[in-house]
A and B are shown apart, each in its own frame.
Chain A
Amino acid sequence: MAETLPQLLFEHASATPNKIALRERDFGIWQAMTWQQYADHVKYFALGLVSMGLSPQETIAIIGDNRPEWVISELAAQSAGAKSVGIYQDSVVTEMVYIFNHADVSFIVVEDQEQVDKILEMWDELKGVRKVIYYDPKGMRNYTEDFLMNFPDVEEAGRAYEREHAGWFEQRLAQGKASDLAILSTTSGTTGNPKLAMLTHHSMMSMGRNLMSIDPLRPQDEFVSFLPLAWIGEQMMCMSCGLQVGFTVNFPEEPETIQHDIREIGPRVMFSPPRIWENLVSQVQVKIQDSTKFKQRMYNWAMPIGYQMADLHFRKEKPSAGMKLKYFLADWLVFQEIKDHLGLRHLIRAYTGGAALGPDVFRFFHALGVTLKQIYGQTEINGIAVVHRDDDVKFQTVGTPIPETDIKIDESGEILMRSPAMMEGYYRNPEATAETLIDGWLHSGDAGYFDEDGHLIVIDRAKDVMTLHDGTKFSPQFIENKLKFSPHVKEAVVFGGDWPFVSAMINIDFANVGKWAETNQISYTTYTDLAQKPQVYELVRKHIEQANVDLPPAARIQRFVLLHKELDADDAELTRTRKVRRKLVAQRYADIISALYSQNNFVDVETVITYQDGRTARLATRLAIQSLQN
């Protein structure tokens, strides 16, 4: 019985050596790797690292797009008894330096020249890093640093090591214990340095096992891995579920080709944060507007039928025979086509997690016949603790706990969780651990409650829940998601707790609003310019008015501003998983917020923008503020 992830890998390699384990689209074709090849790569890469002195106390850091080398590096580290930590590619230098030094990183595996350059820049600050290993050698010809190494050369060193230490690897692999640390997973601390959750093989495997016991997958299923492997959600699908079930994991060619590649594979399972699902909805809405009159009519005829059907399901009512027939036609004529274009045609398991997804997006996918389900969990509990069951989806809830998971709500309303998938603590950070793990319960920091059916409802981050002027408690995220359903709104930040009424700062969706401007013959130059067009204000105002209709009077948005720049993770305004850092945003945009609550109908702002390469620039502009009649 396998206790560790690499042991699982080698079980597959001996049981089904020729079955396809991984695929990567390269040179325009899906290049397959069998379980046997996968295992061999892991073995020799691990031996290569060991020959250069990797010890079990150390950590391997991995930065790059989703590629076979990414998962090979992770499993190689684990099969040598060490652990890995995935780092988001767009992390800033200081964050990376912190992780490398804090987590005892001795080897860094990176994708290409771009990341190598970043490492070289910080090299003098790094302690204990022995080698930097890259797997895309393009452009690396002029680098002479002796700590740089090409990925295949490490494997070559591993083969040489094997010749002198035959059997060492198998022995080391077998020594792996379920209680060994498998990965360190960065969690987006809302302030300061990231925390590193320690996850063991046992915790990772139990999470996958419990999820699969509810939503089984088969070895012949396909999964497309396109979200950062540094994110726990992707670790969960690729490693925990992938290795236990043995399904095929597919890696897209480039980030830009994801949509195309998903469509080619037609995955059976998908787990994405809300942003991806929201994008898909926007895409459909925009494309339909661009399409022919006939297609628009078909779409407008089919969608209400879909929504009706979805609502029946939500209410757990049986559809009538006539309804079934209508839905069959709508599905056959319209929905199948839409799903095909989105690459969702074969999808039977669709999850969203990481943040709340707006009910409208939920209904949209259920109308199409995609059983999108909410999951709830945290990095600290391996990503998943609560999930919807197939026949019991309520979009205002996150579902019920998976097996072996206990959940309770403490007196303050905070959600506490306990399961075998829980982390051991934060790496070398006992203070933070003591604050989070108390008497064996994981304190989530989220506020929530159970409804009458035993479904967990997550209100919001406990500290974000607003008390409106009339005393009702309200989640800003709920309002924001309502706004974000519009294809023209990319991000929204709502304020109101400490203020007399609710107001919103909005990021327009540059691509979609740009397109809209084009069709309406509105000329613009930059994002800032477009956002400040009176017509764009008018457009967004309509969306807000629509959202306001569904909100209780006290929660209705009364004033709003369209921001001059997109909130960006590089400016620390969003976390790496694109959640708004509310506190920081409130601080940074204090001027705008106070203007929202003044009589003024404009505000002058000057901001410092950080570019991709780390340079900064100042930007001065005047933003309009509009009021709504409620």
Chain B
Amino acid sequence: MDSRHKKISFRRNIPLIVKYIILSITLIIVLIPIIMIINGALKTRGEFLAHPYSLPIPPRWENFIEILKMNSFWRLVLNSFLVTSATTIGTVFICSMAAFATARIRFRGKNFVFNFLTLGLMFPVTIAILPVYLVVRQIGLIDNLWGVILVHTSFQLSFGVIILNNFFKSIPSEIQDASHIDGCSYFGFYWHILLRLSRPALASVAAIAAVFSWNDLMVPLVMLNSENLWTLPLGTMQFQGQYGTNWAMVGAFVTLSTIPAVILYLFIQRNLISGLTAGSIKG
């Protein structure tokens, strides 16, 4: 009786076991490239050439230390940090202002303005890069971090305005009416009430803008010439080009340049996910 019961529960669990097997295989495939690069980074160059697939025991930290000693590495981190934070802050403010107008104020031509601001969805920066480059050159912002920041911000606007517009619309109009009766101006309502009520949505927009700006290669590649202005993706690409065969060093560089992104990811995961899936789950 007991063994029969066991048998049944085992058979019932077969789909579950198959699920876990498939998911685990996928997991391994996802992790292999990441593990390989870290594994290489923890070896000396000689060890890597002799035993590429053995475990890095004992781990060698020399590659990491050497890169952390490079001023150029810290310069890249700083530049990326500047570009990403300015883009993120700019995107959040500019998008929330525009979305406030399109979601909460009645005015003529509102639909037109909203549709205009969402045009950016059709023109991703990769496609529009040459036209944008020509204009940035005309303005004189080539080889200037502001050029990168302004372009990054501009190309995040559409997505941000859409997310925030939807979110702002969901806030009851009574709150706005009450604040007006209490003598709050439009700006007062936006600044003191709306932004405070919309923190999760703002965080989502910020997360998406930050990830985009931190990872983007195209804009810095085209717009920055001076090495001391390069951002991390650009610097990483050049480093790989230069040290291409020294995989231990390249691995350490890649690992170090990923750490900020991974930490950021673990912190903002929830906001990032809710932003990316906002709206796409209806219907």
A and B are interacting partners: no
Chain B residues with CB under 8 Å of chain A are: none
